[in-house]
Chains A and B, each alone.
Chain A
Amino acid sequence: MNKLPLIFLGVFLTFASSWVGLVVYPYFALGRMQPLPDEDTGGYFPPSNPGLAVAGEKVYAANGCVYCHSQQVRLAPTSTDIEKGLGPRQTVARDYLRAQPVFLGTMRTGPDLTNIGVRQPDANWHHKHLYEPQVVTDWSVMPSFRYLYKMQEIQGQPSGNAVKGLSGPHAPPPGFEVVPTNEANALVAYLLSLKRNYPLPESPEPPAK
């Protein structure tokens, strides 16, 4: 093997095969998929997200939530995700059309968040949890995101958006309140938007056992 063109050709072709299969093919096959019109409401599946949730997606990326939380529901027997209540059906390519970036995730140090907006629809719950996760779940190993919140003295009436029900070592002392920053509001809007429970013909719900 002393011929440069021969080595080059082999090195080029072997690699090009995977480039075509795992990059070019999905670029065309998955990258050009369209949302599905919903004839009943005139909307689309997956629905488009409000602007605040799109901003929250960036907060999710900046703070690396994906390193502990996946966003994919897989079928049996690969997983028991559906039995464990992570979602009513498998997530398929169309579910991720509007995600940017796509947070499929490779770890489940924390629970899967594909349908967290269905499981926990209350914004205050999320704020409380992000501010001090152990107040909500005492055995949680999630770090606190207090840096996305402001502690301030109550001026007259408490602010309408102050986080309610905080306790524990970082709870506001009397006369103080904890209010979310714009980033925290965006992140919670994003988490609430995570609902992949709309129907898609390519992913029927498996019958309940």
Chain B
Amino acid sequence: MKPHSLISSFNPANEPDTLASHERAEIDASTRLPVLLFFSSAIFWLLVGSLLGLISAWKMTHPWFLDQMAWLTFGRLRPAHLNTVIYGWASAAGIGVGLWLMARLCRIPLVHSKLLISAAIFWNLGVFVGVLGILAGDSRSIEWLEFPGYATPILFIAYAFIGIWAIIMFRFRKPGHVYVSQWYLFAAFLWFPWLYATANILLIWQPIQGSAQGAVNWWFAHNVLGLWFTPIGLASAYYMIPKVIGRPIHSYYLSILGFWSLALFYSWNGMHHLIGGPFPAWMISASVVASIMMFIPVVTVAINHHMTMRGHFDALKWSPTLRFTVFGAMTYTLVSLQGSSMAIPSLNTLTHFTDYTIGHAHLGLYGFFSMMMFGAMYYIVPRLTGWEWPSASAIRWHFWLVASGILLMVGSLSLGGVLQGLALYDPQVSFRSSLDYATPFRLVRGVSGFLLLAGHLVFAGHFAVMLLKIGSRREGPALFAEPSKPEAATV
């Protein structure tokens, strides 16, 4: 083998060969303020979003709970929850992780970071105005796009700065190989503004007529998940897994196949939310086919990640970053295969219009994406602050609370959703039965919300303690246990 084989040159773990540690420190330092600002605000919105979700969940079984005031009604809290976690938490966390990864992989410091700080402030202003708008009664009731028309331009302007910065970094990268994470980030930063602008123009500013709105709505909503969150999440996994275990990604060619098949098939998925709806049959069929074809990118990425991890699973015992990331990567496989199966018309008949879909959405956005972001943050934040995470047991609590919370939530909603779907389909069964079946599972879901909120409080508290550098400096990273291979010891 040549000293620099093709595969090894794609491996970020080989960075020390190409990048001196002082250069890396300089790059990290250049991203410090904007990335920490995105992370802090994301964690703030995560807490707000969890609380909104928890209240909404209990309202589904206890309709009299907080029913006196308009702004607390279920139909406003639910979209407030969704938009808070989508734009306030997940997007902001993803932007922070994406910018940091982009700077590191392009091997150039972030310039004019003050502009990105303004962008972060603007982004949060947009989320704040949007959530208040929904609670005040200006929700558009278009799923994933409820923010009123006076909030979305603020988000868009903020995003323009962020996206342009990311693309510019890529354009002025140091010569050399482009790593797989960079393809995903580059694509995500291009796709999102296209999605957001199209949906805003056609649904909010100059609404198109009739059921075409449904097509645009779900083209947008599904692609925010598939072409914005998913590529950022995968970019993070492709970086963190090799970095922590200290070996290259298994196959460059699988990476290419996974990337292009995702780009081609995911973008066509949206209409599977509208099977049987008022649309030309070919549109629905195209989405069903594309959804099933998602099998290719998903299995490709799963094999690639699994083969990379093979023989190194013991690292899950000590590395917080890896434990969250691998949980996210495994969930990605699971939730994607579940999604493909849900698009098969005969199975869709059962799950359409039920809690099963809600469980699926949480498995994707939380079990996959949010866990991936937690993992990345555990890796990135010490490198920005020059301060290790103070407590390994806080990280352990965070992991077990949210992992059990999300599994309990998805498990209960899936079971309840199937029973609900059976009742909704059977003409001999009354509508009331569909509720009777779903209710006990909704109560369990309500309990799972407490676990998630508790996990987030632990994480937020830990993050605050770290940011303020309370207590004494910790020697060495916070790990769950002694690493089996000391030379690979990183978070």
| Shortest beta-carbon distance from A120 to chain B in Å | 14
Asked whether A83 and B141 contact (CB < 8 A) given A26-B216, A67-B75, A109-B60, the answer is: no
Going nearest first, the 3 A-B pairs with the smallest beta carbon separation are A64-B75, A74-B276, A18-B267
* A4 close to chain B: CB less than 8 A: yes
Pairs A–B under 8 Å by Cβ, sample size 16: A7-B186, A14-B267, A21-B283, A22-B286, A23-B202, A26-B208, A62-B76, A66-B143, A78-B348, A80-B426, A93-B211, A101-B213, A102-B211, A102-B214, A107-B353, A143-B67
Among B78, B138, B190, B194, point to the contact of A67 (Cβ < 8 A).
B78
The chain A residue with its CB closest to the CB of B189 is A11
| CB–CB B63/A133 < 8 A | yes
The chain A residue with its CB closest to the CB of B361 is A106
| CB–CB B74/A11 < 8 A | no
Majority SS of interface residues in chain B? helix
CB neighbours of B268 from chain A (8 A): 17-18, 21-22
| CB–CB B357/A26 < 8 A | no
Stretch at the interface among A144-152, A158-166, A171-179: A144-152
- The docked-state distance in angstroms from the alpha carbon of A186 to that of B275 is 31
* B468 close to chain A: CB less than 8 A: no
| CB–CB B427/A26 < 8 A | no
CB neighbours of A93 from chain B (8 A): 210-212, 278-279
- The docked-state distance in angstroms from the alpha carbon of A27 to that of B283 is 13
| Shortest beta-carbon distance from B448 to chain A in Å | 18
Interface membership of chain A positions 23-64, coded 1 if the CB is closer than 8 angstroms to chain B and 0 otherwise? 101110111110000000000000000000000000011111
Interface membership of chain B positions 352-373, coded 1 if the CB is closer than 8 angstroms to chain A and 0 otherwise? 1110011000000000000000
The chain A residue with its CB closest to the CB of B262 is A14
Give B contacts to A, CB under 8 Å.
59-61, 63-64, 67-70, 73-76, 78-79, 137-143, 170-171, 177-178, 183, 186-187, 190-191, 194, 198, 202-203, 207-216, 219, 223, 227, 256, 260, 263-264, 267-268, 270-271, 273-280, 283, 286-287, 345, 348-349, 352-354, 357-358, 424-427, 431-432, 434-436, 438-439
| Shortest beta-carbon distance from B381 to chain A in Å | 30
CB neighbours of B256 from chain A (8 A): 1
Majority SS of interface residues in chain A? loop
- The docked-state distance in angstroms from the alpha carbon of A99 to that of B177 is 52
Give A contacts to B, CB under 8 Å.
1-2, 4, 7-8, 10-12, 14-15, 17-19, 21-23, 25-27, 29-33, 60-68, 70, 72, 74-75, 77-80, 83-84, 90-97, 99-109, 111, 133-134, 139-148
| CB–CB B212/A143 < 8 A | no
Among B141, B198, B270, point to the contact of A66 (Cβ < 8 A).
B141
- The docked-state distance in angstroms from the alpha carbon of A1 to that of B424 is 49
CB neighbours of A4 from chain B (8 A): 170-171
CB neighbours of B67 from chain A (8 A): 143-144, 146
| CB–CB A79/B349 < 8 A | yes
Asked whether A79 and B276 contact (CB < 8 A) given A30-B212, A62-B138, the answer is: yes
| CB–CB B187/A104 < 8 A | no
| CB–CB A15/B278 < 8 A | no
CB neighbours of B61 from chain A (8 A): 141
Asked whether A140 and B60 contact (CB < 8 A) given A79-B349, A108-B353, the answer is: no
- The docked-state distance in angstroms from the alpha carbon of A107 to that of B60 is 13
| CB–CB A97/B278 < 8 A | no
CB neighbours of A26 from chain B (8 A): 208, 211-212, 215-216, 279, 283
| CB–CB B198/A19 < 8 A | yes
CB neighbours of A64 from chain B (8 A): 73-76, 78-79, 139, 141
| CB–CB A18/B73 < 8 A | no
| Shortest beta-carbon distance from A75 to chain B in Å | 7
| CB–CB A83/B427 < 8 A | yes
- The docked-state distance in angstroms from the alpha carbon of A64 to that of B76 is 6
Asked whether A75 and B431 contact (CB < 8 A) given A2-B178, A17-B268, A21-B268, the answer is: no
Among A61, A63, A95, A102, point to the contact of B70 (Cβ < 8 A).
A63
| CB–CB A139/B435 < 8 A | yes
Among B260, B263, B278, B424, point to the contact of A72 (Cβ < 8 A).
B278
- The docked-state distance in angstroms from the alpha carbon of A8 to that of B182 is 12
- Besides A1-B256, A8-B190, A101-B141, 20 other CB < 8 A contacts? A14-B263, A21-B268, A22-B270, A22-B283, A23-B202, A26-B215, A29-B280, A30-B215, A64-B73, A64-B79, A68-B74, A72-B277, A77-B349, A79-B276, A80-B425, A96-B214, A133-B63, A134-B63, A139-B436, A144-B64
